Structure 1
Amino acid sequence: MKIKPDTTLVEYFYHWERTTPDRIFLRQPFGDTWLDFTWQQAGEQARKLAAYLHSLGLPPKSRIGLVSKNCAEWFISDIAIMLSGHVSVPFYPTLTAEQLEQVVVHSGCNVLLVGKLDNWNAMKAGVPNGVICVSFPTYNPDPAHVQWADVMTSQIPFSDSPLPSPDELMTIVYTSGTTGNPKGVMLTFGGFALVLHSLKEFVPIEVPAIRLLSYLPLCHMAERGILANMALATGATVHFTESIDTFSKNLAAVQPTHFGSVPRIWVKFQQGILAKMPQKRLDLLLRIPILSGIVKKKIRTTLGLGQVQFIGVGAAPMPVSLMLWFRRLGIHMQEIYGMTETTSTISVMPRNGIKDGTVGKALATVTVKIDPDTGEICVKSPHNMLGYYNEPAMTAETLGTDGWLHTGDKGEVDAEGYLRITGRVKEMYKTSKGEYVAPSQIELRFADNALIEQVCVVGQGLPQPVALIVLSESARAEDKTIVAESLRLTHQSVNKILKPYERVQKIVVVQEPWTVENNRMTPTMKLKRKEVEKAFASRIEGWYEHKDDFIWEM
Structure 2
Amino acid sequence: MKKFNSPLEAFLYWEKSSPDQIFLQQFHEGKAQALTFKQSGQEIRRIARAIKKKNLAPNSKIALLSKNCKHWVMADLAIMMSGYISVPIYPTLVAESIKPIIEHSESNLLIIGKLDDYESQKDAFRNIPKISVEQYGIYENETWESLLKSNEPLQEISLPDPQNLITIIYTSGTTGIPKGVMHSHRNFSNATFNISMTLSLPEHPRYFSYLPLSHIAERIGLEMGAISQGGTLTFAESLDTFASNLEATQPDLFFAVPRIYAKFQEKILEGVSQKKLNVILNIPFLNTLFKKKLKVKLGLSRAKYIASGAAPLSVNIMKWYKKIGIEIIQAYGMTEDCIISHCNLPGFNKIGTVGKFTYGATAKLSEIGEICVKNDCLLLGYYKNPKETAEVFDKDGYLKTGDIGEYDHDGFLTITGRAKDQFKTDKGKYISPAPIELAVSKNTDIGQVCIVGMGIPQPIMLVVPSVTGKNKSKTELNESLLKSILEINPTLDKHEKIEKAVVMKEDWTVENGLMTPTFKIKRSQVEKIHMPMYRSWFDAEGRILYE
> Who is 1:238 aligned against?
233
How far apart are 1:474 and its partner, in Å?
2.7
Cα pair 2:247 2:300 within 8 Å, conserved: yes
- The farther-off stretch of 294-303 and 84-93 is 294-303
For residues 313 and 49 of structure 1, the distance between their equivalents in structure 2, rounded to whole angstroms, comes to 35
> Who is 1:462 aligned against?
456
For residues 321 and 203 of structure 1, the distance between their equivalents in structure 2, rounded to whole angstroms, comes to 25
Deviation digits for residues 509-547 of structure 1 (CA, Å, limit 9, x no counterpart): 112010001100011101001111122122221111122
Cα pair 1:204 1:310 within 8 Å, conserved: no
For residues 22 and 200 of structure 1, the distance between their equivalents in structure 2, rounded to whole angstroms, comes to 23
| Equivalent residue for 1:136, pick from 133, 138, 146 | 133
The answer as to 2:271 corresponding to 1:272 is: no
> Who is 2:389 aligned against?
395
Gap runs ≥5 in structure 2: none
Cα pair 2:456 2:534 within 8 Å, conserved: no
For residues 90 and 30 of structure 2, the distance between their equivalents in structure 1, rounded to whole angstroms, comes to 27
The answer as to 2:89 corresponding to 1:91 is: yes
How far apart are 1:156 and its partner, in Å?
1.3
How far apart are 1:499 and its partner, in Å?
1.7
How far apart are 1:400 and its partner, in Å?
4.3
| Equivalent residue for 1:471, pick from 456, 462, 465 | 465
RMSD (CA atoms): 1.4
1:460 maps to a residue whose letter is M
TM-score, normalised relative to structure 1: 0.96
> Who is 2:2 aligned against?
3
Aligned positions of 1:11-160 closer than 5 A: 11-127=9-125, 129=127, 131-142=128-139, 144-160=140-156
> Who is 1:311 aligned against?
306
For residues 90 and 196 of structure 2, the distance between their equivalents in structure 1, rounded to whole angstroms, comes to 29
For residues 328 and 174 of structure 1, the distance between their equivalents in structure 2, rounded to whole angstroms, comes to 39
How far apart are 1:235 and its partner, in Å?
1.3
- The farther-off stretch of 531-540 and 254-263 is 531-540
| Equivalent residue for 1:200, pick from 196, 199, 221 | 196
For residues 261 and 223 of structure 1, the distance between their equivalents in structure 2, rounded to whole angstroms, comes to 9
How far apart are 1:161 and its partner, in Å?
3.0
> Who is 1:183 aligned against?
179
For residues 473 and 59 of structure 2, the distance between their equivalents in structure 1, rounded to whole angstroms, comes to 60
Cα pair 2:60 2:84 within 8 Å, conserved: yes
Cα pair 1:455 1:468 within 8 Å, conserved: yes
Cα pair 2:444 2:468 within 8 Å, conserved: no
For residues 535 and 14 of structure 2, the distance between their equivalents in structure 1, rounded to whole angstroms, comes to 61
Gap runs ≥5 in structure 1: none
Q: State the secondary structure of the residue aligned to 2:268.
A: helix
Aligned positions of 1:412-491 closer than 5 A: 412-491=406-485
The answer as to 2:160 corresponding to 1:164 is: yes
How far apart are 1:367 and its partner, in Å?
2.3
Cα pair 1:455 1:467 within 8 Å, conserved: yes
Cα pair 2:167 2:183 within 8 Å, conserved: yes
Deviation digits for residues 433-488 of structure 1 (CA, Å, limit 9, x no counterpart): 12110111110001211111110111012211100111112321222222222222
1:427 maps to a residue whose letter is D
Cα pair 1:171 1:188 within 8 Å, conserved: yes
For residues 203 and 12 of structure 1, the distance between their equivalents in structure 2, rounded to whole angstroms, comes to 19
> Who is 1:254 aligned against?
249
Shift of the 413–426 alpha-carbon distance from structure 1 to 2, 3 Å rule, reads: same
Cα pair 1:47 1:83 within 8 Å, conserved: yes
For residues 227 and 8 of structure 1, the distance between their equivalents in structure 2, rounded to whole angstroms, comes to 16
The answer as to 2:523 corresponding to 1:523 is: no
For residues 152 and 348 of structure 1, the distance between their equivalents in structure 2, rounded to whole angstroms, comes to 42
For residues 383 and 406 of structure 1, the distance between their equivalents in structure 2, rounded to whole angstroms, comes to 14
1:182 maps to a residue whose letter is P
The answer as to 2:517 corresponding to 1:498 is: no
Cα pair 1:62 1:87 within 8 Å, conserved: yes
| Equivalent residue for 1:386, pick from 351, 359, 380 | 380
| Equivalent residue for 1:174, pick from 149, 154, 170 | 170
Cα pair 2:340 2:361 within 8 Å, conserved: no
Q: State the secondary structure of the residue aligned to 1:213.
A: strand
Q: State the secondary structure of the residue aligned to 1:11.
A: helix
Deviation digits for residues 174-222 of structure 1 (CA, Å, limit 9, x no counterpart): 10131111111001111122222222343223x1342111100001001
Deviation digits for residues 119-175 of structure 1 (CA, Å, limit 9, x no counterpart): 11111111152x210002311123x33111111011111112322233221111110
For residues 476 and 367 of structure 1, the distance between their equivalents in structure 2, rounded to whole angstroms, comes to 44
Q: State the secondary structure of the residue aligned to 1:110.
A: strand
For residues 58 and 209 of structure 1, the distance between their equivalents in structure 2, rounded to whole angstroms, comes to 35
- The farther-off stretch of 323-332 and 361-370 is 361-370
Cα pair 1:336 1:345 within 8 Å, conserved: no
Cα pair 2:455 2:535 within 8 Å, conserved: no
> Who is 1:356 aligned against?
351
Cα pair 2:500 2:544 within 8 Å, conserved: yes
2:482 maps to a residue whose letter is R
For residues 326 and 146 of structure 1, the distance between their equivalents in structure 2, rounded to whole angstroms, comes to 48
> Who is 1:366 aligned against?
361
How far apart are 1:552 and its partner, in Å?
2.5
Aligned residues: 547
For residues 496 and 279 of structure 2, the distance between their equivalents in structure 1, rounded to whole angstroms, comes to 37
Cα pair 1:322 1:447 within 8 Å, conserved: no
1:110 maps to a residue whose letter is N
Aligned positions of 1:292-307 closer than 5 A: 292-307=287-302
For residues 281 and 357 of structure 1, the distance between their equivalents in structure 2, rounded to whole angstroms, comes to 27
For residues 366 and 142 of structure 2, the distance between their equivalents in structure 1, rounded to whole angstroms, comes to 51
Deviation digits for residues 32-51 of structure 1 (CA, Å, limit 9, x no counterpart): 21221111111011011111
1:37 maps to a residue whose letter is L
1:538 maps to a residue whose letter is P
Q: State the secondary structure of the residue aligned to 2:531.
A: helix
Cα pair 2:252 2:305 within 8 Å, conserved: yes
For residues 170 and 51 of structure 1, the distance between their equivalents in structure 2, rounded to whole angstroms, comes to 18
Cα pair 1:134 1:148 within 8 Å, conserved: yes
1:166 maps to a residue whose letter is P
1:343 maps to a residue whose letter is C
How far apart are 1:497 and its partner, in Å?
1.4
